[in-house]
Amino acid sequence: MKPIAIYGAGSFGREVLILLRQINEFQNEWNIIGFFDDNMSVDEQVHSLPILGNIESLNHYDKPLALIIAVGNPVVRKRIVKKITNPLISFPILVHPSVQLAPYQNISVGEGTIIGAGNILTVDIKIGKHVLLNIGCSCGHDVEIADYVSIMPNCMLFGPSTIGESCFISTGAAIMNRVDLAPLSRIGVREVVMNGVSRILE
């Protein structure tokens, strides 16, 4: 089993922990050693797992370690990734066992990306690095999702469409076909986007 830690011990971190445990139930792959978090101390625990330290501790970690960033805000997630300089740290792709990703679908996924339970992906899809595709979403043909995008539960992305870097798509939103979202766009809850928008994340 490969050692893995979660950066971020908040509510999303606990959800990622459940995802890892569900992956292990399907295929015993990960030895979950604990959390790193800049806002908690090493004497605390989350779901019986220890807080191992902060980013400084992570950058001095002296063994190979897989790390998943459990931070929902795409701008903050990118900032955290850029602060991690330890060459022993790798960023695995986490895909819930319920999600089908077969070679014939021609789907590429970048490092550090999380694909949660119940997602449906069709064909010829490109997903960048450190993307969050939360539970119950669907991605149609020829959708392209750039790095650090966060897509919340029950969203629909119709293809072809392009989602720019660090976009945040709120729960239940629909991105219609032939939409190109500018980087850092923020889409509201249940919003239907017919044309690209550029409401910048703060």
- Which CATH number is 2-92 given? 3.40.50.20
* pTM of the full structure: 0.93
* Every domain range in the chain assigned CATH 3.40.50.20: 2-92
Strands 174-175 and 138-139: unpaired
Please name which of 32, 168, 160 lies closest in space to residue 92, comparing C-alpha atoms.
Answer: 32
Instruction: State how far the Cα of 16 lies from the Cα of 112, in Å rounded to an integer.
Output: 12
pLDDT in tens, the chain (202 residues): 999 999 999 999 999 999 999 999 999 999 999 999 999 989 899 999 999 999 999 999 999 999 999 999 999 999 999 999 999 999 999 999 999 999 999 999 999 999 999 999 999 999 999 999 999 999 999 999 999 999 999 999 998 999 999 999 999 999 999 999 999 999 999 999 987 554 544 4
* Every domain range in the chain assigned CATH 2.160.10.10: 95-191
| pLDDT at residue 43, rounded to an integer | 85
Instruction: State how far the Cα of 33 lies from the Cα of 188, in Å rounded to an integer.
Output: 36
HSE value, Cβ hemisphere, 13 Å, CA-based, for 63 = 6
Please name which of 17, 68, 72 lies closest in space to residue 47, comparing C-alpha atoms.
Answer: 17
- Which CATH number is 95-191 given? 2.160.10.10
| pLDDT at residue 195, rounded to an integer | 72
ω before 160 within 30° of 0 (cis)?
A: yes
| pLDDT at residue 196, rounded to an integer | 58
Residue the block writes with tokens 């790390």: 67
| pLDDT at residue 197, rounded to an integer | 56
